[in-house]
Amino acid sequence: MTRSDGALEIAVTNVGAGHAVPTGAAFLRDLWVDVERDGVVVAARVMTIGDQPMQGETPVPLLTRASHVVPGSLAAGETRVARVAATDDSQVILRGRAVRPAVLAALGLEGLSASVPVHEIARR
């Protein structure tokens, strides 16, 4: 992460895994970067990492509803960069959860969404 002229450049690199991240059924996973100031999210999901099922140009939650999948996983060694406006005291947080809320809702299991933990993977 670098700061200059009121902007924050966020770089996420897959250095710890010998495979793409997220792994497994990547279209189910939810991995993203938020920017916080004083514990409040000021820029949500400035970067999302993971595959996205699509029906035409519209994102859909399930493969069974998709005409194709847009790849979005981070390959081993790959770096992805986002640039956002931020103050000097902003923090960048990489978060993830095993199943996206939209997937649970599509399966009629939206009531379980709150029980799927959100993990803070890194904070800078």
List pLDDT tens digits, range 52-107.
999 999 999 999 999 999 999 999 999 999 999 877 789 999 999 999 999 999 99
pLDDT of residue 3: 79
Beta-strand runs (E) in 14-113: 30-37, 40-49, 52-55, 58-59, 68-70, 79-85, 91-97
Domain limits for position 9: 2-123
Residues 9-28, mean pLDDT to the nearest whole number: 92
**How far from chain centre, in Å, is Cα 92?**
12
Average pLDDT score, the chain: 94
- Total structural domains in the chain? 1
Q: What percentage of the chain exceeds 90 in pLDDT?
A: 82
